[in-house]
Amino acid sequence: MLRHRVIPALLLRRGGLVKTRRFKNPVYVGDPINAIRIFNEKEVDELMVLDIEATRSGSGPDLKGIELFAGECFMPLAYGGGIQTLDQAARIFDLGVEKICIQTAAISDVSLITRIAGRYGSQSVVASIDVKRDWRGRPRLYGSAAGRYLAMDWLSQTRRMTEAGAGEILLNAVDRDGMMSGYDTELVGALAKGASVPLIALGGAGSMDHMLEAIRAGASAVAAGSLFVFHGPHRAVLITYPSYQDMERLLGVST
């Protein structure tokens, strides 16, 4: 078994699979069910599905879609997007999803994490946090649903969510999203220093070497979108995933 998980992160918008750059200009890249089936064949560690429209539009989680995804997945599935209540989380878990990602709702009411973790366990809750650098290069908490910086400190918000009961942190570097230029290892390192739970790095992966850099900076797991969706300089759509042997050579195995 690999020491570190390598997780495809699929972005959804209105039921379709999309990819963004720096959280802007979503481009349709295919049918999510087809992507899930391909990842099944490639025996991925875990799959993450994030609906980028659910909170912004106020529509909430697409339960019918989530049911289809969970029914197709042969691997553990994490879902995020539009979850505002314990009841919504319960319905998603009932559909077969192993983990849920909470971000926007926890900013206004961090106790939602406590209630979900209290019923389903901390291992089932991923605290998602988006960080974007301002014009001076300073990392700041970013509200993706609102499309703006938020006043609270990003490290403090992360601590609040883990203290509330989240069992993992998903750190997404907005400026690296879709750019395939490497993770923001400075952010990863800063968060990893004080993290009491596993940290998943997301945003910027363009190669397996980038993944290794994030792991060396302190990430427990690495997630990627463009790396597994696009191929070549013209970003042709091709669903891929590295072989176990390639990951074993680069990332190593647990004892």
Domain that holds residue 30: 5-251
CATH of residue 161: 3.20.20.70
Known catalytic residue: 184?
Answer: no
> Which of the residues 45, 130, 175, 177 is marked catalytic?
130
pLDDT in tens, 175-222: 999 999 999 999 999 999 988 999 999 999 999 999 999 999 999 999
Say yes or no to pLDDT of 1 above 70.
no
- Dist CA 226 CA 99 (whole Å): 22
Burial code (b: 16+ CB inside 10 Å, e: under 16) for 43-61 equals ebbbbbbbbbbbbbeeeeb
pTM value is: 0.95
For 23-67, give the DSSP string.
TEEEEEEE-HHHHHHHHHHTT-S-EEEEESSHHHHT----HHHHH
Say yes or no to pLDDT of 4 above 50.
yes
Average pLDDT estimate for 86-93: 97
Share of the chain above pLDDT 90, in %: 83
> How many domains is the chain built from?
1
pLDDT in tens, 131-143: 999 999 999 999 9
Give the model's confidence band at 253: pLDDT under 50 very low, under 70 low, under 90 confident, else very high.
low
